[in-house]
Amino acid sequence: MSSSSVAQQERVADPLLGAVSDLLERSLTPMSDDKIIELLRGVEQATRMLAAVGHRLIVQASDRNLPNQTGTGTVKKFLMHTLRLSSPEAGARVAAALSLGLWHDMGGETREARLPATAAAQVEGEISVDHARQIAAVMKRVPGSTANTEFEAAEQLLADFARTGSPDDIPKVGEAILAYLDPDGERTDDTDRARMRGITIGRQRADGMSPIRGEITPTLRALLDAVMAKLARPGMNNPDDPESPSGGSEYVDRDELVAAARRDARSAAQRTHDGFVALLTHGVASEKLGSHRGLPVSTILTMSVADVEKAAGVATTATGGLVPMSEALKLAEEAQPFLMVFDAQGEPLHLGTAKRFASAAQRLALIAAIRGCSRPGCDAPASMCATHHVTDWSKSGPTDIGNETLACDSCHAMVHDGPGGWKTVVLGPESAHPGRVAWIAPPHIDPSGTPQINNRHHPGELLAEALSRVHHRKERERQHRERLRLEQPLTGAA
């Protein structure tokens, strides 16, 4: 075949390039807002699916020994030269293909992807390259392989979360999963934590500033989180605002705090610094710090009865932290924090419609049960949340535990009846999560209006469900193999 006839043949990628060219040339101005949103979603889905195509091509390049044929030597260098990629980008693509691609063994048989659930989600266009990269980073810290049920369950859980969550949240979810996979700190035990602990305050510079660095134990983190949730809250203890509520006063006027928060231009790091100033200036005793969202400022620990009985596992704090059970029990004895031992058989609390604001007991129950903001994808811990009425109090919604959930300030403001407003509903008995509060996103986010729950704060429950699914699947596969084995003699006799 002549070179001219080859050139005339349509290249495999020509239809794709043609479609992209059409989009580049097409005027977007006449499109409606809904069409623009639809196009954004479509282009993003196609981009994500193309990443999976890239994995297949990298596998082919390796199988065909193209790096050696072209003199580049490795797949990474082959991509760098052929596609003019940077070394980090080429390396990242090869690493992604190793985790998500379908490679072949020595006999030519196709092996399952190392991260099969993540690979499937990317093929469907549900997750981005960044989602997949964050999942792979977490899974590097999980021992075993896809033959290990805990490994498989953790990867499924992360992939499921990624389908609706942000890549930024995957490392946080991963940390929680790793804590449940290794609840007693076998990889990092009390001795290691004691050895690593330390805070170093550097020499004061000529400008008067001093650097600070270090690593803190789970106990210190739990104590600090509870205090900083109030003292470093937007609007509090702002040295640049003379009207900012300061110190740890018992009563903080809500309207004054909201107004001060609007004026607050400090970064999170600056607010934390100013919170420490207030802490050390006004004392660290919890009784002097007043209350935060209706509760005394203190460390609130939630743990299961089973974990208390065996003195193993982890306790969660209202700020989203995890404390090894051995340290949590010591903290409960010595620091006198609030200890909520959560049992599914606990009595529900009722307050009726006579009172708008949840009681301290109700708030403690919500912290134990929900642990953080209930809007899907939000990772705000309980200490940063308000009590939200699913059916608004102004619409005769009761101040009952069954009509309440937790929502951080920013998510709470998103619930309204206007354009772009979110809705909240209590899921019915036919749901997979009866009694849980689900959120319905506005049409520009989810045109289907499907109620979604936030699993961000319940990694232990999700991991148990994932493990159960893996065990059930493996048992079905075992039974299927056994049936085939029993049927084999009959097939041979025929």
* 3-class secondary structure, 202: coil
At residue 241, φ and ψ (nearest 5 deg) are: -125, 105
Which of 105-114, 326-335, 479-488 tops mean pLDDT? Answer: 105-114
pLDDT grade for 474, boundaries at 50, 70 and 90: confident
Q: Which of 325, 402, 409, 412 is nearest to 370 (CA)?
A: 402
pLDDT band at 466 (very low <50, low <70, confident <90, very high): confident
List Cα–Cα distances, 355 to 351, 426, 429, in angstroms.
7, 21, 28
Alpha-carbon gap, residue 350 to 358, rounded angstroms: 10
| Residue pLDDT, tens place only, 98-145 | 999 999 887 778 888 999 999 999 999 999 999 999 999 888 877 555
pLDDT above 80: residue 32: yes
Minimum mean pLDDT range among 292-296, 318-322, 344-348, 397-401: 344-348
Query: What is the average per-residue pLDDT within 340-364?
Result: 48
Mean pLDDT for the chain overall: 78
Distance separating alpha carbons of residues 332 and 340, to the nearest angstrom: 10
Overall pTM > 0.75: no
Instruction: Identify the weakest region by mean pLDDT among 51-65, 169-183, 332-346, 458-472.
Output: 332-346
Residue 356 carries which DSSP code?
Answer: S
CB 215 within 8 A of CB 198: yes
**More confident: 214 or 142:** 214
DSSP 292: E
- Distant-in-sequence, close-in-space partners of 488: CB < 8 Å, separation ≥ 6: none
| pLDDT value of position 304 | 66
Band of the pLDDT at 226, cuts 50, 70, 90?
confident
pLDDT in tens, 168-179: 888 888 887 877
**Whole-angstrom Cα distance, residue 428 to residue 271?**
41
Look at residue 118 in the predicted model and tell me its pLDDT: 96
